[in-house]
Amino acid sequence: MPKPTPLAIQDRPTQNGLESVDLAEKGRSPSGEVLTSNRRLYMQFMAFGGCEDTATLIDALRAAGIHGVLYEDINDPTGVGLLTFSESADYFLDEARRFLTTPPFSDLTPKPEYTMFGRTYSLGYEPDLDETLVDRPRRRVCDPELPWVVWYPLRRSGSFERLSAQEQNVILMEHGGIGRAFGKAGLGYDIRLACHGMDKNDSDFVVGLVGPELYPLSMIVQRMRKTQQTSLHLDRLGPFFIGRVAWQAQVEQGAGN
């Protein structure tokens, strides 16, 4: 179980001008009330080679009660990817680490270049923070109707950070509009994770695209290439892991994709 934490942590300003610190995620109700939450979902993706029997991995995942998803790698005939998730960062050291350092996963060949770790975040206008930060991303990656996935990290260039807030919003709206259009059509959905200070390659975000077929996910990436954010303000994109679900943990399914 995740450890209880305060909704927000604030440092009072001092004579030295120390700014206040607020760690809460923000949303907004339909009536305009500011909503806050300190819940968030951490997700870690790892890839491995040398898997000749996916069924053995699935049996181990089920027996251990791992919160995650196993993918078969389309670009490696013996490759797999494992996504694990939890509201507690401790889970990845206390449980996932112990599991991965024993057979059958310890018998595989790690591919550290694909390792990604991030946390869900809000944009400030979401009317249901529990749905945005925890329920929906967990439900999407475990939805049997969305078996195909593309996972990749990205880092923005310094030019984006030097733009005004208004200019950034215009660029982000263009980018977000593509995702909403594909999602409304039922062709693909995105999982957005922040990984500032948690990625060995200093990436800013981890993105997962999930959908019923692979082709629309490729089209999302192709369409994103033409946006201002990707074409003008990205320093690095990838590497890309492309796979299909072999096993998913059971979570409650429902509306809200």
201 located within any domain: yes
pLDDT bracket for residue 250 (50, 70, 90): confident
Q: Which pLDDT tens digit goes with each residue over 206-246?
A: 999 999 999 999 999 998 877 766 666 667 888 999 999 99
37 located within any domain: no
Give dist(CA 174, CA 169) in Å, integer.
9
Number of domains, the chain: 1
194 located within any domain: yes
Give the residue with greater pLDDT, 93 vs 235: 93
DSSP assignment of 66-97 equals --EEEEEETT-TT-EEEEEEES-TTHIIIIIH
Return all residues near 138 (Cβ < 8 A) that are at least 6 apart: 41, 85, 251
90 located within any domain: no
The parent domain of residue 242 ranges over 144-248
221 located within any domain: yes
195 located within any domain: yes
5 located within any domain: no
236 located within any domain: yes
**CATH number reported for the structural domain that contains residue 236 in this entry:** 3.30.70.1030
Tell me the angle at which helices 165-184 and 214-224 cross, rounded to the nearest 10 degrees.
160
Amino acid identity, residue 239? P
Q: Which pair of structure tokens corresponds to residue 253?
A: 């399914």
